[in-house]
Amino acid sequence: MKKQYRSEFNQRQNMTRDNYEIYYYSDTHFQSVSPHKHDYYEFYFPVSGKIEMEIRGKRIRLDNRSTAVIPPATTHRAVTENDERSYCRYVFWISASYFRQLREKMPSLAYIAEQAEAGRYIHHFSDYEYTSIQSKILRLIEEDKADRYGHDAFTDIVICDLLMTLSRLVHEQDHPLNREKDTDTVQAMIEYIDQHLEEELSLKALGEQFYISKYYAAHEFKERTGISIHQYILKKRLQRCADEIKTGKPVSRICTEYGFQDYSSFYRAFRKEYKVSPKEYRKTYIHDLRYPGGQTE
């Protein structure tokens, strides 16, 4: 039997579980709810559709790379045009008591919630950042629907991972690093590679970027990390492709975007890394064509 991840929308605004609830909603002709507030935190992730979040009487337009964080006792509602387009979103609720427990263990994961408590409710992310966030949401939905060994403990880990990722991204937006001229070259190359996986990353290009010879770049990278630049780039691109596959985007488009010249070479590399084919990997995460982006190729 196929797993159904899509939830039927209802206007209930109270939690029925003690710790958290996670939903994926997809509607047409959505009827906006009345302004309301509740005693838990709400994390709201639009996927598609024209949507505004009204918070304490002020409306803010969201896009499909935005996140709204609504703290307890904050009046709000989502408002969308009642048209023919599908309106999709993830909604994550976490109780104040459960959040407090996590916060006591790992204070740094609370940064994004602290910003919301100070009145900063909306955050915008890059395509790359939002893909990372979405993959963690999907991982939480997958675990939430599972009944496997260590479910409760693993759910705690996945929720902490999501909150920590959100907090880290927002904190880094607020505190951009001031890089000194003597920044470690290998570390700088690693960060550059991670942020430019869709671009040309040949030894020649990296050498020109950091004003060093390609031979020096290759030697220093292998000396410091234990693997070659080529191996590192391949692993990071495959990891990014795996995250994209979880969202349902066509595999053929993903491998092209991340620098693989043909599908066969991508297929071999992916299967070697993950022990399954790209399509088999996708089926692990996407069980319903109504799931966001759950499309055939």
The predicted structure's pLDDT at residue 30: 61
Task: Say whether pLDDT at 84 is over 60.
Answer: no
- Between 214 and 285, residue with greater pLDDT: 214
Task: Say whether pLDDT at 20 is over 60.
Answer: yes
Query: Cα(161)–Cα(217) distance, rounded to whole angstroms?
Result: 33
Average pLDDT, integer, range 29-54: 85
- The amino acid that residue 228 corresponds to is S
Query: Cα(43)–Cα(50) distance, rounded to whole angstroms?
Result: 18
Query: Cα(193)–Cα(190) distance, rounded to whole angstroms?
Result: 5
At 123, is the secondary structure helix, strand, or coil? Answer: strand
The predicted structure's pLDDT at residue 81: 67
For the chain, the domains span 6-174, 185-285
- For the stretch 254-291, pLDDT in tens is 999 998 988 999 999 999 998 889 988 887 765 543 44
What share of the chain has pLDDT > 90, as a percent? 43
CATH number corresponding to 6-174: 2.60.120.280
- Between 42 and 219, residue with greater pLDDT: 42
Confirm if 86 and 28 have CB atoms less than 8 A apart: yes
What does the block give as tokens for 142?
């997958």
Task: Say whether pLDDT at 91 is over 70.
Answer: yes
Average pLDDT, integer, range 54-82: 89
In this chain, the answer to whether the domains covering 6-174 and 185-285 adopt an identical fold is no
DSSP letters of 220-271? Answer: HHHHHHSS-HHHHHHHHHHHHHHHHHHTT--HHHHHHHTT-SSHHHHHHHHH
Topology adopted by domain 185-285: Arc Repressor Mutant, subunit A (1.10.10)
Task: Say whether pLDDT at 32 is over 50.
Answer: yes
Average pLDDT, integer, range 52-81: 90
